[in-house]
Amino acid sequence: MLANNILVQAENISVEFHNYTALKNVSLQVQRGEIVTLIGPNGAGKSTLVRVVLGLSNPQHGQVLRQKNICIGYMPQHLSIDPVLPLTVARFINLSGAKKNIQLILEEVGIVKLLNRPLQNISGGEMRRVLLARALLRQPDLLVLDEPIQGVDVAGQYELYELIAQIRNQHGCGILMVSHDLHLVMAATDQVICLNRRICCSGHPETVTKHPAYLELFGARAARDLAIYTHHHHK
């Protein structure tokens, strides 16, 4: 039985594929109103852990506890759309089947002006916002974002991170976010988990970047180049 403020809790998760250990004894929890970010190199097991948390994969060892009747919104890393498919942003949003708060969500993520555009003709940053809107239409308790700044320029990355922080504040949902873009980590993140098939270290971003395990994994240069993004409210 989970405490009311804990949305999901993974306990001692181990996953193996054909004698390859993808995850070993990994634990995490996400509380309501909390942002937890997974960082790590390619092949660290971040996407595998997300699939386990979502219930799409079963671990060989360990368990995942989810709050009863929890609603999870998921923003995938990639979405392939056939270039000849006549699909506008509006049609893609309507395919979600959502009936409530559609206009409010579209305004919140800033995609109202895109509704009549073909989905194949929008930019990478615009696509991330469209996928974020689809996830939010479920009115999730937990929002899972797999590499939310994938294919977005630096200015767009700052804007998306700021939007994610605003969503957490306004909706009160928990957020589990995945990133391997180590040059930018939100200071608004409550906890960073550094993963390389096992948890190397965890804590606030500024703490993690000074941890010996982080320095061993990514090197001192990566630590120096890591920029801590500070969220500022616009007045």
By mean pLDDT, which of 1-5, 119-123, 212-216 is the weakest? Answer: 212-216
- pLDDT, one tens digit per residue, over 88-134 is 999 999 988 888 889 999 999 999 999 999 998 899 899 999 999 99
pLDDT interval class at 9 (50, 70, 90): very high
Residue 129 vs residue 161, higher pLDDT: 129
- pLDDT, one tens digit per residue, over 142-156 is 999 998 888 788 788
* The 142-146 sheet, strands edge to edge: 72-75, 142-146, 174-179, 35-39, 191-195, 199-203
- pLDDT, one tens digit per residue, over 164-211 is 999 999 999 999 999 866 656 666 688 999 999 999 989 888 788 778
Domain with CATH 3.40.50.300 in the chain: 6-71+141-229
Could you tell me where the beta strands, DSSP code E, fall in the chain? 6-17, 20-31, 35-39, 61-66, 72-75, 142-146, 174-179, 184-186, 191-195, 199-203, 227-229
Phi-psi region of 147 (alpha: psi -120 to 50; beta: other; left: phi over 0): left
Residue 77 vs residue 90, higher pLDDT: 90
Which class is 6-71+141-229 in CATH?
alpha beta
Mean of pLDDT over the chain:
87
In percent, the amount of the chain with pLDDT more than 70 equals 89
Q: Are strands 191-195 and 199-203 parallel, antiparallel or unpaired?
A: antiparallel
pLDDT at residue 50 greater than cutoff 70: yes
Torsion of CA 210, 213, 215, 219, to 10 degrees: -160
Which pLDDT score, from 0 to 100, does residue 13 have?
Answer: 97
**Rounded Cα gap, residues 229 and 161, in angstroms:** 9
In percent, the amount of the chain with pLDDT more than 90 equals 56
Produce one character per residue of 209-234: b if its CB has 16 or more CB atoms within 10 Å, e if not: bebeebeebbeeeeeeebeebeeeee
Q: How many CA atoms lie within 13 A of 230 on its CB side?
A: 2
